[in-house]
A and B are shown apart, each in its own frame.
Chain A
Amino acid sequence: MRKVAMFAAGLAFAAVPAVTLVAHHAFGGEFDPNKPVLLKGKMIKLEWVNPHAWLHIEIPKADGQQACQFTPNMKCEEWMVEGGTPNTLLRRGITKESLQAGTELVIDGYQARDHSLNRANGRNITYPDGRKLFLGSSGTGAPTDGADPTEAPKGRGRGGR
């Protein structure tokens, strides 16, 4: 049992830094921890680009600079939200067309350090009911991901056996 716990601790040690220490760029340099934002709006454009996808949303606001595309007779403010690489999603069959303009989204994150920019990181991007935007990286999307023990191993795990 103690051995098992030790393995678990070892794995957590292995997995956690991989999530938090390795990323494409310094999020802390880009976004301001003292400017948390909650954005509720409708997607107007999806930039399906690397290194990070950017979702453009419009938020109805009395002093908005532009006419809303999806809320009639209202002014809107446009925000850009940073996501991850589109390549992994493409491999799961998710394309630029998978998310329609006009889709209502709720995003929490932090605003860019330059506050003149309406830009934030998409710390969590969900639908209004809290569902995540896309399916996850494993256990759901990949054809043989180890989630189903009866499934024959196809990719990683075969080597030399």
Chain B
Amino acid sequence: MRRTMLAAVCASIAASVVVGAQMKNAGIPRTPDGHPDLTGVYDLAVLTPLERPNGMPAVLSDEEAARLERENVDRNRALDKAIDGNRSAPPKGGDGSVGPAGNVGGYNNFWLDRGTQYAIVDGQRRTSIVIDPPDGKVPPLTQDARQRQASRFAQARPTSDQTESNDPGLEPAGAYDDPERRPLGERCLLGFGSTSGPPVLPNYFYNNLHQIVQTPTHVMILTEMVHDARVVRMNGKHVPSSMRFWMGDSIGYWEGDTLVVDTTNFTDKTRFRGSTPDLHVVERFTRVDAKTLKYRFTIDDPKTWAKPWTGEYTWPATTERLYEYACHEGNYAMGNILRGARLREKQSTDRQK
């Protein structure tokens, strides 16, 4: 009986808190328990980069943003234009493309969906997702983090043919020695970059859709690339530190109308921008209107950055559908990459004979 009364008192306090919150932000959809309803599919593709490019102000005027967005459209239109049907093969020795496009180019622009507009947060058209530090840049790595990276690099390249390094299309020697040396994205295990998160970031390439499903006890965030579901336990406690997860262990609670998600217990596999398994991510989801969420995250990992840093951008709802990714189904690329490496090893051995 006492317990029932206590529950009733708690419920009435909770209800008054919820009523207060409703008055504060009345126009947003809510679940039957009174919390903002975050359910929906969101397209995170955006022009705003994680870090502010040098020389850009923190906020663009409407006119500047419109002009830059227009230029982006024009660039895409130019890439869509017909080319010579009687063209010859690309140049021998490579086409000079850098990064993973590895001197052989990638593929046509029509496959991509990078976003067309800048994120508008609190009425400001932002030029970086990072807001703290105020220069919009991710803080420099600690000495410890730089050493870890250097030793990982050295460790990852002990065995292979040194001639690999002379080919501009290839990563340093040893990078293709076995599938476990390839990035998680390439192995179809997690989206490349920090698409799955946390923190959830746009990949500036394609398939930036995320779906949120919300119940009173759990919130699920489904990421199209590579079809990863992160389940947030509401009002739970973190699992013991011996239990580790690629996307960490996420627990959530409501702070007024904001869903706060606290994630720890990472592994050494994901390494967000060089972080350790001690990475601690706090995400804050706030519904700013019926079709927009504001997403803010704070990154804390003292072994990697001297102090925590924060970013934020909006998640606009989309009526588009999120599709299954089924990455392993057709990942011929991994086989082709490893076959290429085995062949180079054989050639190297043959040369030494």
Contact = CB atoms under 8 A, between A and B. Distances in A.
Interface stretch (B16-24, B248-256, B301-309, B312-320): B312-320
Nearest to B164: A29
Interface in A132-161: 132-140, 142, 145-147, 149, 153, 155-161
A96 B159 CA distance: 42
B85 A130 contact: yes
A160 B120 contact: yes
B45 interface: yes
B54 A117 contact: no
Nearest to A148: B73
Contacts of A130: 82-87
B200 interface: no
Interface in B74-133: 74-77, 79-95, 97-123, 127
B74 A139 contact: yes
Interface string B295-337: 0000000000000000000101010110101110111111011
A146 B73 contact: yes
Contact of B45 (A122, A133, A156): A156
A123 interface: yes
A146 B116 contact: yes
B157 to A, nearest CB: 14
Interface string B167-191: 1111100011000001001101000
B30 interface: no
B264 interface: no
Contact of A137 (B68, B76, B167, B333): B76
Nearest to B326: A50
Interface stretch (A19-27, A61-69, A71-79): A19-27
A7 B64 contact: yes
B348 interface: no
A155 B88 contact: no
A161 B321 contact: no
B139 interface: no
A50 B112 CA distance: 14
A112 interface: yes
Interface string A36-64: 11100000000101111110000000000
Contacts of B87: 38, 106, 108, 124, 130
B279 interface: no
A50 B99 contact: no
A28 B97 CA distance: 9
A27 B53 contact: no
A28 B321 contact: no
Contact of A113 (B80, B288, B325, B336): B336
Interface of B: 43, 45-47, 49, 53-56, 64, 66, 68-77, 79-95, 97-123, 127, 167-171, 175-176, 182, 185-186, 188, 192-193, 203-207, 224, 226, 288-289, 291-292, 294, 314, 316, 318, 320-321, 323, 325-327, 329-334, 336-337, 339-344
7 contacts: A34-B93, A51-B330, A113-B340, A127-B85, A136-B79, A136-B110, A156-B316
Given A20-B106, A51-B226, A136-B80, 14 more contacts: A7-B56, A15-B75, A18-B204, A24-B186, A25-B186, A30-B333, A33-B94, A47-B330, A108-B87, A133-B108, A137-B109, A146-B73, A153-B117, A160-B314
Q: Which 3 A-B pairs have the closest CB atoms?
A: A28-B102, A84-B111, A113-B340
